[in-house]
């Protein structure tokens, strides 16, 4: 095979190694055995400036593991995204289990038996593990919502020896390895005809990898098929039956795995003969300087008494079984973990209390979780890379675009970043190219010390060697470098010394000839007799821990604040706790509560509706026309239906501006705000018209001193809270706000969920407008204007996130209660009206700070 590849170089790599140019005798996979469960036929995909997939045809047969390999940017993830329906091809056909289509969707693919584990898990951070697992299942295989926790725990029990994960835990609190376990467990639970695994072992620990391979073998033995994408050729050779190679978007060929060596595959991947033999360059071959980085008695939550020195030009490795404290030490030195002790860079003592402080002190940290901590989505490659070098490319705070482009351009070329240009969004790049850009940011900081946490995670063979070379060059330039890697072979190739961790301490130091793969692995395994499970990010939590991270926690805080204010008012005035006072205050509370609940609906998807106030005014004006003539119950019902239709139309207009026209929600609803206000004033320039008194008396009924509409507001809040967590639409609403693109991958039609949210918000303004009619009795166009900001404030007080995915309708109601209580108590205490704003603002800051701090502490723990 290798000889044939060498001969082919004279006629061009692409031609020489095309399927037609390689004889079956030397490795072309036999496509005739077994039933085909996945077929891609002439699939083609272009992006601006990039021909990502070039008329690829590929077949996957039942009972087999079909490996797909290639360099970063070769098109692997794009191809499987097309197969899974998350990427739309320009042309071509996808066939799953005999059914074909040219326009697959995630739901269509899932229902026909294809499951996929993406390189970045398609999990919604604000949903629990159980909710994520259920949402990702085909409709026919989903358990009842009430049974989802027990169902998820049963599936995760298979992984209990390597992962301890509470099904009630929000995914945002899981460590990266635990997220991958959840994603893989969910996909296998579907019992799909074909499962696609895109770099599944990048974040898994060795025990979890072994468990995965066991489950894959069971899946194929039962007649299922696996498409396995990996840069780890030893894994490919270990488990694959067929190997297909992609290069520059084209299929080079498909080969029987037993007929090709790792070297053959490497040569196919890169398109040339690549010598993988590596001569280690150590400190003995370089000139080392004085001690540059020194750590004394460093202690933290999972480590203690760490002493470490690194000389200029030296590369020191961190090794050990995962969970022994090595990553915690590295993150603490990078400013991402609490610690005590002394850290020196050169002759300066620094305090890496934050990433910014560490960077200022000359320490740059490369994260192992680029998706969460490394990549700045929405910014270009140039902006991502130059962020740490702004001081070098600016004068008096003004960035020189010429210097920036030159600096980043040279770095990208040296690292062979594959992208149409430096201005494209980094999110459009493959995972390996994103890793190169994040690494370039670290290098451009020109720090004295570089802390590299899994520097080659998710990159291909060729790029891995390039990163090794870059780190060696940085060391040769006088940098002190610390590398943490789960690969003993990688540490052997890079490091001058290796420190092996056990139970939070340095158990052994390897130097000289002892820095080899066998010795490193042996030291890691013999240095500890106990190991943490993968993904022990949470485990079981007690009641108080769960309450501290609950979306109801802010509401509980507000309730306590409301009671305290009530006690203060009651001690100062005998009329506070009277039926007359409550009969005056509760209608105002009910009005604001409906506004806050309505606002909470759109805030769940990350939007804010500025038009709610003018919409209420418009509805009051419309009512002054249509509810003045009707005096029968049927007439009143018809009038209310008209108001609901008007509100729904306004919600649909907001949705169209945001989703179809793609205007920012704030701008879109501000446009609607102005239009509704103008229309209402056009209809009633001054308050006029009388709303039917019989209708007003009917809707303003009371039970004792409690208005009926106040009770209705409580019922609506409780019902919506239940729906938010116990109905399919509620879970989809939270999923859309948590991570819209990921929700799409899970089959959620976010466009229609967004439509439901904006229409629902507008319809919930109808009862608020009816209460305003009771207050005015006439058509008043501006009566609702003051409620826009008040509704947002109440919802935020109740725990709503402006980014979506989190919030509580009960919390929004209690936010309205607190705002109303503040306004009432200020009057009873005889304080100036500005005290309303002071109290409201102060309590908002205190509540938000407490809630944010408690959630941060929970997530860190």
What pLDDT digit, counting tens, does each position of 510-525 carry?
A: 998 888 887 887 777 5
Closest-CA residue to 757 (of 723, 726, 714): 723
Average pLDDT across the chain, whole number: 84
**Residue 70: left (phi > 0), alpha (psi -120 to 50), or beta?**
left
Burial of 57-82, coded b for 16+ CB within 10 Å and e otherwise, reads ebbbbbbbbbbbbbbbbbbbbbbbbb
User: Does residue 131 have a pLDDT over 90?
Assistant: yes
Q: Copy the structure tokens of residue 95.
A: 């066939």
The whole-number pLDDT of residue 42 equals 94
* pLDDT for 462 beyond 60: yes
Residue 826, pLDDT score = 86
pLDDT at 277 (0 to 100): 47
Selection from 69, 72, 71, 94 nearest residue 81 by Cα: 94
Q: Give the model's pLDDT for residue 594.
A: 97
What are the Cα distances from residue 595, in Å, to 113, 579, 621, 816?
44, 25, 18, 9
Q: How confident is the model at residue 31 (pLDDT cuts 50, 70, 90)?
A: low
* Band of pLDDT at residue 682, cut at 50, 70 and 90: very high
Q: For residue range 696-719, list pLDDT tens digits in order.
A: 888 888 888 889 999 999 999 999
pLDDT tens-digit readout, 57-81: 999 999 999 999 887 678 888 999 9
Say whether pLDDT at 14 is over 60: no
Q: Are the CB atoms for 462 and 274 separated by under 8 Å?
A: yes
Instruction: Tell me the Cα Rg of the chain.
Output: 31
Evaluate if residue 1 carries a pLDDT over 50: no
Question: 3-state SS string over 402-422?
Answer: HHHHHHHHHHHHHHCCCCCCC
- What are the structure tokens assigned to 696, written together? 């007003």
Q: Please state, in angstroms and rounded to a whole number, the distance separating the CA atoms of residues 633 and 627.
A: 11
Rounded distance, CA 232 to CA 120, Å?
Answer: 17
Helix-, strand-, coil-residue percentages of the chain, each rounded to 5: 50, 15, 30
Which has more pLDDT, 340 or 851? 340
pLDDT at 855: 54
pLDDT (0 to 100) of residue 851: 59
Q: What is the pLDDT of residue 768?
A: 96
pLDDT at 27 over 80: no
Higher pLDDT, 372 or 569: 569
Torsion 425-429-435-437 (CA) sign: negative
Cα–Cα separations (whole angstroms), residue 443 to 12, 366, 386, 537, 565: 36, 9, 10, 30, 55
H/E segment holding residue 464: helix 461-476
What pLDDT sits at residue 648?
97
Question: What pLDDT score was predicted for residue 529?
Answer: 40
Instruction: Read off the tokens for 107.
Output: 């739901």
Q: What would the pLDDT profile of 626-662 be if each residue is shown by its tens digit? A: 988 666 788 888 899 999 999 999 999 999 999 999 9
Do residues 761 and 598 lie in contact, with contact meaning Cβ atoms separated by under 8 Å?
yes
Cα dihedral across residues 714, 720, 724, 728: positive or negative: positive
Which range has the worst mean pLDDT, 35-44, 131-140, 157-166, 189-198? 157-166
Mean pLDDT of 323-344: 90
DSSP string, 695-734: HHHHHT-EETTEEHHHHHHHHHHHHHHHHHHHSHHHHHHH
488 φ/ψ sector (left φ>0, alpha ψ -120 to 50, else beta): alpha
Identify the pLDDT of residue 721.
95
Nearest to 225 by CA among 189, 194, 200: 194
Q: How confident is the model at residue 29 (pLDDT cuts 50, 70, 90)?
A: low
Residue 478, pLDDT above cutoff 80: yes
* Mean pLDDT (whole number) for 562-577: 89
Q: How confident is the model at residue 839 (pLDDT cuts 50, 70, 90)?
A: confident
The DSSP result for 502-539, as a single string, is: ETTEEEEEEEGGG-SHHHHHHHHHHS-S--PPBTTTS-
442: nearest Cα among 384, 484, 511, 524:
384
Check residue 385 and give its pLDDT.
85
Domains in the chain: ranges and CATH:
2-113+192-270 (3.40.50.300), 121-184 (no CATH), 283-362+447-526 (3.40.50.300), 379-445 (no CATH), 553-567+575-860 (1.10.3470)
Beta strand spans in 12-170 (E): 36-47, 50-61, 65-69, 91-96, 99-101, 114-117
Inform me whether the pLDDT recorded for 570 exceeds 50. yes
Percent of the chain with pLDDT over 70: 88
Report yes or no: 859 and 806 within 8 Å, Cβ to Cβ: no
Picking from 253, 217, 195, the residue whose alpha carbon sits closest to that of residue 30 is: 253
Three-class SS state of 854: helix
User: In the structure, what pLDDT confidence band is assigned to residue 853 with cuts at 50, 70 and 90?
Assistant: low
Distance in angstroms (rounded) separating the CA atoms of residues 378 and 446 = 25
Question: pLDDT per residue over 583-629, tens digit each?
Answer: 889 999 999 999 999 999 999 999 999 999 999 999 999 999 998 86
Contact 243, 65 (CB under 8 A): no
β-pairing, 194-198 with 225-229? parallel
With cut-offs at 50, 70 and 90, classify the pLDDT of residue 530: very low
7 pLDDT tier (thresholds 50, 70, 90): very low
Per the CB < 8 A criterion, the answer to whether 365 and 336 are in contact is: yes
Tell me the C-alpha distance between 352 and 361, whole Å: 7
Quick one: pLDDT band at residue 849, thresholds 50, 70, 90?
Answer: low
pLDDT for 861? 47
* Beta strands 194-198; 114-117: pairing state: parallel
Query: CA-based diameter of the chain, in Å?
Result: 100
Q: Given pLDDT bands bounded at 50, 70 and 90, which one contains residue 255?
A: very high
Residue 840 clears pLDDT 60, i.e. is over it: yes
What percent of the chain is predicted at pLDDT more than 90?
42
> Is pLDDT at 531 greater than 80 in this prediction?
no
- What number is the average pLDDT over the span 345-349? 93
Structure confidence at residue 833 (pLDDT) = 76
Query: Of 26 and 602, which is predicted with more confidence?
Result: 602
pLDDT of the residue at 371: 75
């Amino acid at each position: 095979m290798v000889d044939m590849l060498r001969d082919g170089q004279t006629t061009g790599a692409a031609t020489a190694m095309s399927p037609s140019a390689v004889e079956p005798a030397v490795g072309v996979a036999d496509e005739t055995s077994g039933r085909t469960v996945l077929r891609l036929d002439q699939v083609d995909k272009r992006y601006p400036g990039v021909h990502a997939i070039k008329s690829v045809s590929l077949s996957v047969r039942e009972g087999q593991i079909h490996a797909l390999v290639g360099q970063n940017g070769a098109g692997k993830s794009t191809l499987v995204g097309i197969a899974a329906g998350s990427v739309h091809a320009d042309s071509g056909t996808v066939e799953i289990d005999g059914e074909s289509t040219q326009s697959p969707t995630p739901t269509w693919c899932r229902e026909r038996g294809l499951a996929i584990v993406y390189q970045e898990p398609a999990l919604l951070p604000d949903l629990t593990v159980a909710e994520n697992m259920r949402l990702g299942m085909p409709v026919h295989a989903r358990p009842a919502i009430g049974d989802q926790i027990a169902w998820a725990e049963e599936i995760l029990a298979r992984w209990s020896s390597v992962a301890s994960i509470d099904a009630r835990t929000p995914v945002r609190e899981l460590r990266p390895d635990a997220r991958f376990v959840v994603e893989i467990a969910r996909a296998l639970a579907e019992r799909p005809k074909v499962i696609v695994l895109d770099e599944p072992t990048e974040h898994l620990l060795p025990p979890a990898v072994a468990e995965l391979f066991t489950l894959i073998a069971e899946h194929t033995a039962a007649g299922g098929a696996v498409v396995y994408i990996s840069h780890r050729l030893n894994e490919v050779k270990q488990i694959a039956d067929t190997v297909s190679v992609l290069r520059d978007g084209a299929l080079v060929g498909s080969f029987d795995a037993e007929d090709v060596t790792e070297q053959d595959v490497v040569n196919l991947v890169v398109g040339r003969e690549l010598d993988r033999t590596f001569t280690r360059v150590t400190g003995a071959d370089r000139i080392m300087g004085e001690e540059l980085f020194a750590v004394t008695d460093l202690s933290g939550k999972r480590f203690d008494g760490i002493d470490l020195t690194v000389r200029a030009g030296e590369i020191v490795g961190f090794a050990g079984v995962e969970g022994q404290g090595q990553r915690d030490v590295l993150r603490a030195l990078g400013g991402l973990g609490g610690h005590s002790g002394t850290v020196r860079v050169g002759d300066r003592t620094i305090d890496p209390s934050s990433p910014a402080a560490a960077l200022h002190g000359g320490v740059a940290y490369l994260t192992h979780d680029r998706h969460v901590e490394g990549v700045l989505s929405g910014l270009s490659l140039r902006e991502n890379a130059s962020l740490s070098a702004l001081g070098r490319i600016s004068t008096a705070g003004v960035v020189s675009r010429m210097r920036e482009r030159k600096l980043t351009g040279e770095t990208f070329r040296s690292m062979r970043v594959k992208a149409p240009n430096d201005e494209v969004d980094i999110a459009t790049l493959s995972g390996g190219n994103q890793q190169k850009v994040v690494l370039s940011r670290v290098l451009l900081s020109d720090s004295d010390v570089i802390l590299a946490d899994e520097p080659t995670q998710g990159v291909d063979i060729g790029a891995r060697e390039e990163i090794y070379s870059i780190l060696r060059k940085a060391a040769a330039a006088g940098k002190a470098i610390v590398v943490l890697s789960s690969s003993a072979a990688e540490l052997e190739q890079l490091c001058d010394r290796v420190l092996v961790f056990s139970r939070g301490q340095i158990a052994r130091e390897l130097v000289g000839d002892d820095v080899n793969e066998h010795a490193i692995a042996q030291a890691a395994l013999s240095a500890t007799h106990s190991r943490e499970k993968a993904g022990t990010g949470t485990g079981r939590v007690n009641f108080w821990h769960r309450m501290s991270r609950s979306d109801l926690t802010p509401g509980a805080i507000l309730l306590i604040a409301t009671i305290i204010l009530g006690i203060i008012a009651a001690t100062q005035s005998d009329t506070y706790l009277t039926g007359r006072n409550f009969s005056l205050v509760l209608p105002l509370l009910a009005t604001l509560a409906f506004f806050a609940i309505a606002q909470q609906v759109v805030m769940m998807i990350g939007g804010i509706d500025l038009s709610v106030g003018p919409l209420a005014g418009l509805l009051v004006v419309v009512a002054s026309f249509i509810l003045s003539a009707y005096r029968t119950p049927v007439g009143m019902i018809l009038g209310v239906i008209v108001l609901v239709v008007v509100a729904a139309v306004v919600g649909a207009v907001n949705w169209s501006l945001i989703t179809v026209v793609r205007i920012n929600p704030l701008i879109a609803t501000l446009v609607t705000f102005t239009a509704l206000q103008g229309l209402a004033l056009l209809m009633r320039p001054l308050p006029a018209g009388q709303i039917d008194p019989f209708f007003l008396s009917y809707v303003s009924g009371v039970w004792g001193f409690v208005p009926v509409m106040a009770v209705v507001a409580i019922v609506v809040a409780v019902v919506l809270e239940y729906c938010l967590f116990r109905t399919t639409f509620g879970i989809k609403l939270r999923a859309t706000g948590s991570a819209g693109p990921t929700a799409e991958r899970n089959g959620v039609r976010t466009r229609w969920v967004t439509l439901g949210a904006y229409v629902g918000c507008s319809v919930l303004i109808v009862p608020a407008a009816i209460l305003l009619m009771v207050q005015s009795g006439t058509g008043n166009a501006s009566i609702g204007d003051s409620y826009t900001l008040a509704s947002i404030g109440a919802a935020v007080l109740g725990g709503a996130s402006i980014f979506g995915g989190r919030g509580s309708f009960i919390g929004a109601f209690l936010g309205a209660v607190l705002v109303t209580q503040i306004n009432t108590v200020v009057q009873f205490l005889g304080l100036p009206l500005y005290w309303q704003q002071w109290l409201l603002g102060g309590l908002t800051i205190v509540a938000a700070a407490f809630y944010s701090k408690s959630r941060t502490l929970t997530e860190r723990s």
